Chain A
Amino acid sequence: MITKHSHACVYVTDQDRARAFYTDKLGMEVRDDVRMGTFRWLSVAPKTQPDACIVLMLVGAGPMLSEEQAGQLRALLEAGVLGAGVLETDDCRRDYDELKAKGVQFAREPKEMPYGIEALMRDDSGNFYSLTQRR
């Protein structure tokens, strides 16, 4: 029985910038930040969620991704067509105001939906997230 989803992978175009975005702007904390040669294992998570993290993987060629594929992935990111998931909040409108004031880009402002209040935001690489206050 699978009991939990613990690691989600989000491709980013610059890990230093992504680390700053997810911590300084979104208020998450760094869980791992270690390097092995050119590979950097960088993960972040909301401070109140100890058992799950977002792995911020750099888009780059390697054993599993050719230069061409990495280029295609980078192009998709830059086009802003990759969705990264849902970030839950206890107050979507307040977070929207606070994050917008910090320069976070939103594709849609908070909107009443049957399942809660939801806004659509982008990270610094172009990944978009639902910022959702469930009900």
Chain B
Amino acid sequence: MPSSRATLRRLIRARDVLHASVQRGATLDELARASGLSRGFLARSFSRTFGVPPHQYLVQLRLEHAKRALARGLSVTEACLEVGFESLGSFSASFHRRVGVSPRSWQRQARGLVQSLGVPALYIPACFLARYVGHV
């Protein structure tokens, strides 16, 4: 059953709170208060709309921020702290589980791309990039 327009607006509000609190990490209670939805309904509807529950969404968000930090040249420890992981171990494990390589390996690959092509974003598909730089 698709969510109503009013519910979607509330879910977007909850999602925006997550985006605004990446480092600290808003709790489900905070999201429920901000959106005006009950915890259970929020958790279920959030998953249906955004594909994953709020906590997993936060982890994904943190990892995306961590990638940007690593690409900027921060150390793995600095990136871990900047995006709010509680320990280096949980950061590295989450990163490896979702990205498939360690933060340090990923950083080496990303910095190579940034240095050789000057690509400032983390993901510009080659079919688009080729229109600017030719073959990549």
Contact = CB atoms under 8 A, between A and B. Distances in A.
B132 A39 contact: yes
Contacts of B12: 47-48
A9 interface: yes
Contacts of B2: 90
Contact of B50 (A38, A50, A57, A65): A50
B131 A41 contact: no
Q: Size band of the B side of the interface?
A: 20 to 34
A97 interface: no
Interface in A59-88: 62-65
B51 A48 contact: no
Given A34-B120, A63-B134, A90-B2, A48 B128 contact: no
Given A47-B12, A50-B51, A36 B131 contact: no
B20 interface: no
Given A50-B50, A51-B51, A90-B2, A32 B121 contact: yes
Contact of A36 (B11, B51, B118, B134): B118
A5 interface: no
B132 A48 contact: no
Nearest to B11: A48
A91 B132 CA distance: 39
A57 B131 contact: yes
B14 to A, nearest CB: 12
Given A50-B50, A91-B5, A34 B121 contact: yes
Contacts of B8: 48, 90
Contacts of A48: 8, 11-12, 49-50
B40 interface: no
Contacts of B135: 63
B62 to A, nearest CB: 15
Interface string B49-64: 1110000000000000
A36 B132 contact: yes
Given A48-B11, A48-B49, A50-B51, A62 B131 contact: yes
Interface string B117-136: 11111001100101111110
Contacts of B5: 90-91
A35 B132 CA distance: 11
27 contacts: A7-B128, A9-B128, A34-B121, A35-B120, A36-B132, A38-B132, A39-B131, A39-B133, A41-B121, A41-B124, A47-B12, A47-B15, A48-B8, A48-B49, A48-B50, A50-B51, A51-B51, A55-B128, A57-B128, A57-B131, A62-B131, A63-B134, A64-B130, A64-B134, A90-B4, A90-B5, A91-B5
